[in-house]
């Protein structure tokens, strides 16, 4: 891989191994509400980071900026080594399509599709043909332990299984970054625990995992914990 | 562990790295877009069907109107073609004071002698002669059936045909024989010319030798019965002054023959002669049906407009309901353009399917009509192309606003929505 194009570096991660980087990032919503106040943070490739804080602390806003779903009002943002501040809508979409896997609290599975097609759909915008997408989806479902439920539809799956399908959708395209927004928020403690273990296991194989939670017990399982309050980082512990 | 080891974590599954270009671009090829749009409609089948129904009704109505009109026109034009456009009729006109003119007895031989005339035939009114099945029928119950004298060339000149028996020949026109028009035969309840059926015509027994099919170019002849001119002259003292002369001209000389006919029929009083072309009348009737079509097409267009508004309405609701899906798609790498294309494609596909359904409805309606009217079934070729094309355009226009609305949604707001 080579040359720089349009402000986007070719390499998904920088030479110094920083996968996600915020520098003096401010996010202000209409009406003057500041959700992030000059936040600076580096997350290295392969890090497993929990962002913890009460609701309204700005952690979800930080995740959506890291995930390029929203743009910062000011400050520098680099994702997978690319400067996303100047990038176009389609450049950011490309970044999300290839480099970032999202896991949401609400699963966001399509009820009309089988588990396999929900996972294959995760790669829809990569331009990979359907047959190959399904092959990758099958492998991903095997990895999350649902190889036997590929033809089931979401309404036939338990909450924990739905979240596993959503995780399979996030990892099927081999993203370098996984961003999870309260992935266990809708699950009972047992399913939540197993989903958390799965995320740890997948991340330990190489991806950068950033997970948002308001639950300190979940945050405890992460090697690095960033604490937020009122739009600012108030703590950053490493084990 | 080195940094490089993390860079491409899951190498086995997923997007092959050979496919990843220096600059990974999110893409949605047209066939994938079609698949996404189809999936969107399949997820909400009933709603899709109901909103497509509006377009289907509009287009169906228009196709039916065009089809029915084309079928009747085709029928008229086919009739005209089969009967020929080269038939001219010559009738006595009326004088300035409203009295009837009389054609001279020389009219038929004079016209027959003209250039570019193929066949000439004439009918002569036989006044005071009525037709009865038996002499015992009260004389006032004539049934409105007229008696005309004619020559042997009438059927040929009119491109007519005989349903039963035969027409006059050189022998039978001198004998007390009678040929019935189709309506007259029905009134007299005679279905066949075989079996020596006799009718009481003007006080004399006549033998029925033939029954004609309808004379499309002059249906007034259907109500009459015909006897030979020599018999009429002998028995009823009919003057050989024709009431109507039928002239077949060469196809390319119809207008020149037409211009000369009046003067030829009555050189001394050409103004007292009316010349007309029956096929003109039928063509005018076909054109009149076309005028009516324009009005009905306008009504169909209103139905289409209502259908289009229905689709726009449904798509706006759909965008609001599917904010979560839109947010997810953005998170998966869809650009704003991908999102707007998806909703535009759904709307267009919906309307195209409605258009095709409308085409089928319209074609079936036309088919049922054409069977009922005993006409050929015609759905114009342009309707086959225009119906889905109209659907495409309507759907695309109706989808513009919802598509723009979907593309404008912030992905995070969309994800928060569910």
- ipTM rounded to 2 decimals: 0.90
Is the CB of residue A56 less than 8 Å away from at least one CB of chain B?
A: no
Domain that holds residue A114: 46-57+94-238
Q: What's the pTM?
A: 0.70
| B260 has pLDDT over 80 | yes
Residue A123 lies in a domain: yes
Report pLDDT for B317.
93
Residue A205 has its nearest CB partner, among B3, B9, B20, at B9
Q: What is the pLDDT of residue B239?
A: 85
Cβ–Cβ of B330/A93 closer than 8 Å?
Answer: yes
Q: Once rounded to an integer, what is the mean pLDDT over residues B263-274?
A: 88
Q: Check residue B276 and give its pLDDT.
A: 86
A14 located within any domain: no
> Is the pLDDT at A236 greater than 90, yes or no?
yes
Using CA atoms, how far apart are residues B4 and A191, in angstroms rounded to an integer? 33
Measured in angstroms, the CA of A3 and the nearest CA of chain B are apart by 8
pLDDT at B21: 52
Q: Does A127 lie at the interface with B, CB-CB under 8 angstroms?
A: yes
Half-sphere exposure (Cβ direction) of B358: Cα atoms closer than 13 Å = 38
Domain for residue A162, yes or no? Answer: yes
Report pLDDT for B417. 59
Domain of residue A203, CATH code: 3.40.50.300
Contacts of B63 (CB under 8 A, 6+ apart): B358, B359, B361, B362, B363, B365, B366, B379, B383, B387
Other C-beta atoms lying within 10 Å of the C-beta of residue B385: 11
Share above pLDDT 70 across residues of chain A, in percent, rounded to a whole number: 93
Identify whether A180 is part of a domain.
yes
Residue A168 forms part of a structural domain: yes
- The pLDDT of residue B166 is 92
Contacts of B98-107 spanning 24+ positions with Cβ under 8 A: B101/B266, B101/B269, B101/B272, B101/B273, B102/B241, B103/B241, B103/B242, B103/B243, B103/B245, B103/B265, B103/B266, B103/B273, B104/B241, B104/B265, B104/B266, B104/B268, B105/B239, B105/B240, B105/B241, B107/B242, B107/B245, B107/B264, B107/B265, B107/B266
Would you say residue A203 has pLDDT above 90? no
> Distance from A214 to chain B by nearest Cα, in Å?
17
pLDDT value, residue B5: 34
How confident is the model over B352-368, as a mean pLDDT?
Answer: 93
- Please give the residue that has the higher pLDDT: either A231 or B14: A231
Tokens linked to B130:
């009525």
Instruction: Give tens-digit pLDDT for A65-110.
Output: 999 999 999 999 999 988 999 899 989 999 999 999 999 988 899 9
Half-sphere exposure of A170 (CA within 13 A, CB side): 32
Q: Does residue A104 form part of some domain?
A: yes
* Number of structural domains chain A divides into: 1
Q: Of residues B290 and A11, which shows the higher confidence score?
A: B290
CB atoms A93 and B327 under 8 Å: no
| Residue numbers in A near B335 (CB within 8 A) | 89-90, 93
Which of the 8 DSSP states describes residue B214? P
**Domain presence at residue A33:** no
For an interface test with A, give the residue of B1, B8, B26, B416 to mutate (most A CBs within 10 A).
Answer: B26
Q: Residue B415 above 90 pLDDT?
A: no
A181 lies in some domain: yes
Q: Is the pLDDT of residue B4 over 80?
A: no
């Amino acid at each position: 891989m080579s040359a720089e194009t349009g402000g986007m570096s070719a390499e998904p991660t920088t030479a110094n191994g920083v996968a996600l980087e915020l520098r003096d990032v401010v996010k202000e919503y209409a009406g003057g509400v500041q959700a992030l106040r000059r936040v600076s943070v580096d997350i290295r490739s392969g890090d497993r980071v929990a962002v913890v804080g009460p609701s309204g602390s700005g952690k979800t806003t930080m995740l959506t900026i890291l995930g390029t779903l929203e743009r910062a009002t000011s400050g520098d943002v680099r994702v997978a080594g690319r400067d996303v501040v100047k990038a176009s809508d389609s450049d950011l979409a490309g970044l999300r399509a290839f480099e970032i896997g999202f896991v949401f609290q609400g699963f966001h599975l399509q009820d009309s599709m089988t588990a396999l097609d929900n996972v294959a759909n995760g790669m829809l915008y990569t331009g990979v043909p359907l047959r190959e997408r399904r092959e990758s989806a099958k492998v991903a479902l095997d990895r999350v332990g649902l190889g036997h439920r590929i033809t089931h539809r979401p309404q036939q799956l338990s909450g924990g299984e739905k979240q596993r399908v959503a995780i399979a959708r996030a990892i099927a395209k081999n993203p370098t970054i996984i961003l999870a927004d309260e992935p266990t928020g809708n699950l009972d403690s047992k399913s939540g625990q197993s989903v958390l273990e799965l995320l740890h296991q997948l991340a330990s194989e190489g991806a950068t995992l950033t997970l948002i939670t308001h639950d300190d017990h979940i945050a405890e399982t992460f090697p690095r914990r960033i604490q937020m309050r009122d739009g600012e980082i108030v703590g950053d512990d490493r084990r | 562990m080195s940094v490089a080891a993390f860079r491409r974590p899951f190498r086995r599954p997923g997007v092959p790295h050979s496919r990843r270009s220096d600059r990974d671009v999110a893409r949605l090829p047209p066939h994938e877009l079609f698949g996404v749009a189809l999936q969107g409609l399949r997820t909400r089948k009933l709603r899709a069907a109901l909103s497509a129904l509006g377009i289907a009704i509009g287009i169906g109505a228009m196709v039916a109107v065009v089809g029915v009109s084309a079928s009747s026109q085709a029928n008229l034009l086919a009739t005209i073609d089969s009967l020929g456009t080269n038939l001219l009729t010559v009738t006595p006109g009326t004088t300035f004071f409203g009295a009837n003119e009389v054609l001279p007895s020389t009219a038929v031989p004079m016209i027959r002698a003209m250039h570019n005339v193929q066949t000439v035939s004439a009918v002569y009114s036989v006044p005071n002669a009525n037709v009865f099945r038996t002499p015992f029928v009260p004389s006032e119950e004539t049934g409105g059936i007229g008696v005309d004298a004619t020559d042997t060339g009438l059927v040929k000149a009119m491109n007519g045909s005989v349903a039963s028996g035969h027409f006059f020949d050189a022998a039978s026109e001198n004998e007390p024989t009678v040929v019935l028009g189709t309506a007259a035969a029905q009134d007299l309840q005679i279905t066949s010319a075989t079996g020596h059926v006799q009718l009481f015509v003007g006080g004399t027994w006549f033998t029925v030798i033939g029954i004609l099919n309808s004379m499309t170019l002059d249906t007034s002849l259907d109500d009459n019965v015909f006897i030979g001119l020599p018999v009429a002259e002998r028995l009823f003292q009919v003057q050989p002054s024709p009431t109507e002369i039928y002239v077949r001209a060469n196809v390319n000389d119809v207008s020149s023959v037409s211009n000369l006919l009046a003067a030829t029929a009555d050189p001394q009083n050409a103004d007292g002669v009316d010349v007309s072309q029956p096929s003109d009348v039928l063509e005018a009737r076909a054109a009149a049906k076309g005028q009516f079509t324009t009005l009905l097409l306008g009504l169909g267009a209103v139905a289409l407009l209502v259908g289009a508004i229905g689709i726009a309405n449904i798509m706006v609701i759909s965008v609001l309901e599917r904010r979560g899906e839109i947010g997810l798609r953005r998170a998966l790498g869809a650009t704003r353009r991908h999102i707007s294309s998806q909703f535009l494609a759904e709307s267009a596909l919906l309307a195209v399917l409605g258009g095709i359904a409308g085409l089928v409805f319209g074609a079936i309606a036309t088919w049922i009509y054409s069977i009922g009217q005993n006409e050929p079934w015609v759905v114009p070729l342009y309707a086959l192309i225009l119906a889905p094309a109209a659907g495409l355009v309507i759907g695309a226009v109706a989808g513009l606003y919802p598509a723009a609305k979907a593309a404008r949604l912030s992905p995070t707001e969309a994800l928060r929505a569910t």
